Amino acid sequence: TSWYTVPAAVKASGGRVPVYAFVQDNVDAYIVYDQYKNIRYFITKAFRSEVTMLSISSYTDATIKRCYPKAKVIRVGSFVRDEFFEIPYVMPSQRVRVLSTIARAGHLKGFDIFVKAVRELWKRRKDFRVKILNTIRLGQLGDLGFPYEELPPRWKPIGMAEFYASSYAFVYTSMFESFGLPPLEAMATGTPVVMTYNEGSKEYARHGVNALVAEPENYRQVADYLDYLLDNPDEADRLSLGGVETARQFRFDKFMERFKAAIGL
């Protein structure tokens, strides 16, 4: 399920059985930011292996083909687990004004962009709350310049579906993703999404239809979109319905049909 496991799978097969690689990689982050010696060479070598690549998005299609134009690629896509569709739907306009996000380690995950955006928003208004699921695992998040509720890394008393559904809007500011599942999970629960653009997000995110999509790293634009949603709950409701409709296209049963067909089951 990653470029660095492909050679091991090929070697283990001994050429006796077909090998399939479920490709979820976001290799741009490795190539652009990582300083590992010869990383581009090893990524390209992995994707040039004689295997069938099961791709989750148009981004991963392009990544594989860029490394090996003759590669066999079958798009199977990704999915949202059923539990996210089982939450009773409440229109955002009827919810408490809570803005939520997931804090993840590493600059590319964009938590610093979220912090800057909410600081900017906090200067303008204070009629909202902030909820942060902390997966950074580096202790407490500390003073961020605005009040917030911090949920610890192992927070699972009622599940991720409820985490999204208890929010007025979910914010996702990652810069590099091969797909980016959390916004789609939030959509499945009827929660409006404000996010920054990344290549993987184009698989499902449509600005003004099912989300508000800002330019990468543009925290002021993120703050503007949150400001707009707080002032216009009817728009939050409209985006919510668009998100639910989009998420339904990524249900697990449809994914499994494509996956089984791809591997001949």
Sheet holding 129-134, edge to edge: 149-151, 129-134, 98-103, 169-172, 193-196, 212-214
Judge whether residue 67 has pLDDT over 80.
Answer: yes
In the block, tokens 């399920």 appear at: 1
**pLDDT of amino acid 37:** 67
**pLDDT of amino acid 260:** 96
What percentage of the chain exceeds 70 in pLDDT? 94
Judge whether residue 147 has pLDDT over 90.
Answer: yes
**pLDDT of amino acid 24:** 87
Q: In the structure, how many helices (H) and strands (E) does the chain have?
A: 10, 9
**pLDDT of amino acid 17:** 83
The per-residue DSSP string of 83-111 comes to: GGG-SPP--GGGS--EEEEEE-SSGGG-H
**pLDDT of amino acid 154:** 59
Q: How far is CA 49 from the centre of its chain?
A: 28
Pairing of strands 98-103, 129-134: parallel
Judge whether residue 35 has pLDDT over 90.
Answer: no
pLDDT band at residue 157 using 50, 70 and 90 as cut-offs: very low
- The stretch 161-186 carries a mean pLDDT of 95
- The stretch 227-249 carries a mean pLDDT of 98
Residue type, 75: R
- The stretch 89-105 carries a mean pLDDT of 96
Tokens matching residue 196? 């920054």
CA 85 → CA 128, 160, 178, 185, 211, distances in Å?
26, 12, 23, 9, 18
Judge whether residue 156 has pLDDT over 60.
Answer: no
